[in-house]
Amino acid sequence: MDDSEAILQAVKLMQAADVMVAVYDPEDRLRLANDAFCQAWHIAAREQPLWSELMRRNFHARRGTVINTPDFENWLLSTQARRGKSGFRAFETDLHDGRWLWMTETTDARGWMLCAATDITAIRTDERSLRQDRDAALRAAQTDELTGIPGRRFVMSKLEEILRVCGERKEVAACLAVLDIDNFKYINDRFGHVVGDAILKNFANTVHQLVRKTDVFGRVGGRNSSCCFPARCRKKRKRL
């Protein structure tokens, strides 16, 4: 059996599986999904939406993933800022059709992501609520309340992980950029903290649109502090 035949058989097996499976490219665009995944998230045949587009339209149609938030765009920014930042992560989520899923995301160094979801609806409701509360508390602890991007705890944990990987593997390098808004204290003093907060939110959203899925971008300080993002690079150093 050659490689092309093996790939064909793998795709056939994926299509026949009850597990929901999908592959996203480094731009976070859906490239491959089996029927179970498409049915759960209402994806048409041959459709390849961006993950953000899929989440947005399903949120407004009240289908797919249950997203409990009064501000979808802020939720999207916060979630994208954490999505794909680890080689592997697992979490639980629920769908509007009543199913409860155990999801895994496996991301390679280039940003390609394999998503797999298993139906775990049989777990008791009280246990499910406890798990949801725990996950919400963890997300809150790692998120900057004002901007919605990862906070100091998340950024520093990823920086420690990058330093550890760089120390273990000589072919891996990384770079760190610390960003600061000039004269920000003057803006707060002259126009007030409401304007200053709006500038920080806009700044965070603008930078977030420019970084890659595998980059980590977050806010490490307080009201007048800078944002920073460590970016993982392979084989050679790259300038940001």
pLDDT band at residue 1 under the 50/70/90 scheme: low
Condensed to tens digits (0 to 9), the pLDDT of residues 182-224 reads: 888 888 888 898 998 899 889 888 888 888 888 888 888 755 4
Cα separation of 171 and 151, whole Å?
Answer: 29
pLDDT over 60 (residue 235): no
Model pLDDT, residue 162? 80
Fold matches, 3-141 and 152-234 = no
Q: Which fold has domain 152-234?
A: Alpha-Beta Plaits (3.30.70)
Model pLDDT, residue 240? 31
The more confidently predicted of residues 153 and 47 is 47
pLDDT band at residue 232 under the 50/70/90 scheme: very low
Q: Evaluate whether 103 touches 89 at the Cβ level (below 8 Å).
A: no
Domain ranges, ordered by start, for the chain: 3-141, 152-234
Cα separation of 11 and 220, whole Å?
Answer: 43
- Mean pLDDT is highest, among 79-88, 128-137, 169-178, 223-232, for 79-88
The more confidently predicted of residues 229 and 72 is 72
Condensed to tens digits (0 to 9), the pLDDT of residues 96-127 reads: 999 999 999 999 988 999 999 999 988 766 66
β-sheet bridge partners, residue 234: 172
The pLDDT of 227-235, averaged and rounded, is 47
**Token pair for 77:** 């920014």
Cα separation of 53 and 93, whole Å?
Answer: 19
Model pLDDT, residue 145? 84
The pLDDT of 2-11, averaged and rounded, is 75
Other residues' Cβ atoms within 10 Å of the Cβ of residue 123 = 12
Model pLDDT, residue 117? 96
Cα separation of 152 and 220, whole Å?
Answer: 4
Cα separation of 92 and 205, whole Å?
Answer: 26
Name the CATH architecture for the domain at 3-141: 2-Layer Sandwich (3.30)
Model pLDDT, residue 234? 44
Other residues' Cβ atoms within 10 Å of the Cβ of residue 164 = 10
Average pLDDT score over the chain: 83
Residue 111 makes CB contacts below 8 A (sequence gap 6+) with 25, 26, 27, 84, 212, 213, 214
pLDDT over 70 (residue 237): no
Terminus-to-terminus CA distance in the chain, angstroms? 44
* Percentage of residues of the chain with pLDDT beyond 70: 87
The pLDDT of 85-91, averaged and rounded, is 87
Q: In what order do the strands lie in the sheet with 88-94?
A: 30-33, 20-24, 113-119, 100-107, 88-94
Condensed to tens digits (0 to 9), the pLDDT of residues 147-183 reads: 888 888 888 888 888 888 777 777 777 788 888 888 8
